[in-house]
Chain A
Amino acid sequence: MDPSEVEFIAEKEVVQIIPNFSLDKIYLIGGDLGPFNPGLPVSVPVWLALNLKQRQKCSIVPPEWMDIDKLEEMRELERKEDAFTPVPSPYYMELTKLLLNHSSDNIPKADEIRTLVKDIWDTRIAKLRLSADSFINQQEAHAKLDNLTLMEINTIRAFLLDSLNCMYKLRSNLQPGSTKGQFSDY
């Protein structure tokens, strides 16, 4: 899957915005939104929030977890634990990127948040590489991947799955008398 598609899915997440215009309730196919009143916070999906922001029709309230203290705590925990720690949002990386790129003026200490989230991401990806390595070394057939986000899975998907398939083909060809050995490729 393309990373932009993961971002597309993340854009369905809901954020709070403070509009500067007024508009009645909108009845979208995916649910109702609004009504919008100037100065009153309202929840909308990220794709709409970003669009309104680009047209300077609202300011975005950053999600609660997008906060220096909370993220620092998370980074320490992530570095200390061997396993993956729970993330504040299943789309933390995508949302950070989207919100910081389009709406950094509404987010206090945007640069520090960017660095912190990048640190957390790097730590997690390093862990992911390590566990993928041991998964292959031990020739496991099942792994539990709790707390991994879609974007993280997506970064190793193509490489890991293709390698596993390749190894499977090689191995099943080695085993004598195996019926599964008849793999043909183009």
Chain B
Amino acid sequence: MSDGLSEDGSDINQEDEDVMTPAELIAKLEEAWLNEKFSPELLENKSEVVECVMEQLTHMEANLQRVKKGDAKASIHRMEIDRIRYVLSSYLRSRLQKIEKYFPHVLEKEKSREMGDASLLSPEEFAFAKEYYANTETYLKAMALKRMPPNLQTIDMLKAVPEPCLDSFVFLRVKERQENILVEPETDDQREYVVDLEEGSQHLMRYRTIAPLVSTGAVQLI
């Protein structure tokens, strides 16, 4: 990292300031994108990855500004940028959708978080969630609640908005072998049993059972 600053990026390839290569960074973003798309609840934010990708994109775009029009390489670079930008915005959009859907629970979880724990929301998302909460509340009050009898004029958002259903089924692929995953029975006359998840195998099971494995990156939702 020390000598990376000596020249001002004359070569596009000179951005390996992190331990991660740009290609690995993009792979991380795609992982986060698919996990976020398929998990029923909001996952931990990956603002580090998002920021690094943004940096890569702006850097590349700045370089492209200097290239003259009609350059064959530039058009290929632009196509790649567009693809990455699509993944990035689709990822952020699916997070916003979940925040809008579950905002009281998201904020509640953020509030009860221990100091030092990784934050669920990025600062921008947190601001968005708070604002969304306030706006929804004001709207409900203005449109309906103030016309209700006095004893019915309060609303508990936590009860009014359904929680994410962690018992949903998800499809997943195993990246690191896991042993003794407990599968809870569907009905009372079945018994619980354990399965081993082999590396590379694919499964269909409840999100609740494997939720911790998603956040450690041991399994990938598909």
Contacts and interface: CB of A to CB of B under 8 A. Distances in A.
Main secondary structure of the interface of A (DSSP, over half): mixed
B120 interface: no
Given A28-B76, A32-B13, A145-B204, A165 B169 contact: yes
Contacts of B84: 29-30
Interface in B56-82: 56-57, 60, 72-73, 76-77, 79-81
A161 B171 CA distance: 9
A171 interface: yes
Nearest to B63: A27
B76 A26 contact: yes
A148 interface: yes
Given A26-B76, A148-B202, A175 B188 contact: yes
Interface stretch (A63-71, A98-106, A135-143): A135-143
A105 to B, nearest CB: 23
B203 A144 contact: yes
A164 interface: yes
Contacts of A26: 73, 76-77
A57 to B, nearest CB: 9
B180 interface: no
A51 to B, nearest CB: 6
A141 B184 contact: yes
Contact of B206 (A1, A5, A135, A141): A141
B23 A144 contact: no
Q: How many B residues are at the interface, by size bracket?
A: 35 or more
Contacts of B169: 160-161, 164-165
Nearest to B38: A1
Contacts, number: 98
B41 to A, nearest CB: 14
B58 to A, nearest CB: 12
A48 B82 CA distance: 12
B204 A30 contact: no
Interface stretch (B43-51, B105-113, B137-145, B160-168): B160-168
A31 B187 CA distance: 50
A184 interface: yes
Contacts of A165: 165, 167-169
B204 A185 contact: no
29 contacts: A1-B37, A5-B90, A8-B86, A26-B73, A28-B76, A28-B80, A29-B22, A29-B57, A29-B80, A29-B81, A33-B76, A47-B79, A48-B76, A141-B183, A141-B185, A141-B190, A141-B206, A142-B195, A142-B205, A143-B204, A145-B171, A145-B202, A146-B201, A153-B202, A165-B165, A175-B188, A184-B162, A185-B162, A186-B162
Given A148-B202, A153-B222, A165-B169, 7 more contacts: A29-B57, A47-B79, A142-B183, A145-B171, A165-B167, A165-B168, A186-B162
7 closest cross-chain pairs (CB), A and B: A139-B186, A143-B204, A145-B202, A27-B13, A142-B183, A142-B205, A29-B22
Interface of A: 1, 5, 8-9, 21, 23-24, 26-33, 47-48, 51, 135, 139-146, 148, 150, 153, 157, 160-161, 164-165, 168, 171, 175, 180, 183-186
